[in-house]
Amino acid sequence: MNDKTLHVGAPNIGDRELFHKYVDEIFDRRWLTNRGRLVQDFERELADYLGVKHCITMCNGTIALEIAIRALNLRGEVIVPSMTFIATAHALQWQEIKPVFCDIDPETYCIDPIEVERHITPNTTGILAVHLYGRPCDIERLQSIADKHDLNLLFDAAHAFGCSHQGQMIGNFGDCEVFSFHATKFFNTFEGGCIATNDDALAKKIRLMQNFGFQGMDNVGYIGTNGKMTEVAAAMGLTNLKSLPDFMEINKSNYNTYKTYISRIRGLKLMEFEDSETCNWQYLVLEVKSDYPLTRDELLNKLHSSNVLARRYFWPGCHNMEPYRSYQPNAKLLLRHTEEVAARILTLPTGTAVSRDDIDRVCNILKS
């Protein structure tokens, strides 16, 4: 018999009865979307949890990024890491803004502030940094660069819901921060996302843009799009918020089990997180070093042939994908660490769908 297939990103699902109850209420009210009661409740609970003034929910993280970029009036060039999911770069290019790919710090895998400063030109209007795998960027240095050069700073926090930086929840930094609540994120609303900000004027603008620019019935005051979250997505969000501590605890326990095994295997290293901070532990990032007997891709094939569907997030880097590879053929010359790190890493399955036995199975493959 084949072993069970293990996926990276298998969704966490909270209390089903509670979710069904919410869905019944939605049907009873016959109010399915357009800022219904559950979306409003969800936004309040999110803002409380993050300790931030405004949380504007969205239909997904990509549209949330696009709206945030537009609300900040970014144009010309925006500095962004290449070591990220393609949506970060696309959200800029979609609006004809050039993503200027910047190298990462090889220790943290996050955008390197020294490199950021090197890429600033008269056309630069902002920095779009990514808290990759949930590990916060060097926020203070990025903010001081942004202040010095009069640039906007926003964060793609798609991986960092539930994480803190110096004791403060991610969601409170820069001009705004953007979360994804996609099914594959440890906290999901099927599809969904939100923009968190402490800036009242920006929040107001984002709300208008998210709903076609409507300022009241029959009155459009702004160009906008449709970024609204549905009631059923908010029902999933409210349900999963109640299970959030359990999800994080399970992720942490999975991480520690993996770590016990992996620390004994020569040539493999698990990405570490700061113990003093709150962390969601949702990405298990394995570094395959040169003294491991297999290359990263050989190990990936071996895992896949045993139904362990590890992923190479985020190889080969945005700059090596179209249209960026054609638009910016020389970008790789300044992305040495990105290329090296992207070639070494694998993401392993975790979350509530993964049992202790599953981890034993994965680690036995890594060991054998």
Chain positions contacting ligand T4K, by CB under 6 A: 7-11, 60-62, 84-85, 87-88, 130, 156, 158-159, 180, 182-184, 193, 309, 313
Helix 61-71 × helix 86-93 angle, to 10°: 40
Give yes or no for a cis peptide into 329 (omega within 30° of 0). no
Give yes or no for a cis peptide into 173 (omega within 30° of 0). no
Integer Cα distance of 185 and 221 in angstroms: 35
Integer Cα distance of 299 and 240 in angstroms: 34
DSSP 94: T
Q: Tell me which H or E stretch contains 17.
A: helix 16-29
DSSP 232-278: HHHHHHHHHHHHHHHHHHHHHHHHHHHHHHHTTSTTEEEPP--TTS-
Question: Do the beta carbons of residue 34 and residue 232 sit within 8 Å?
Answer: no
Question: Do the beta carbons of residue 315 and residue 287 sit within 8 Å?
Answer: no
Integer Cα distance of 24 and 28 in angstroms: 6
Integer Cα distance of 332 and 82 in angstroms: 9
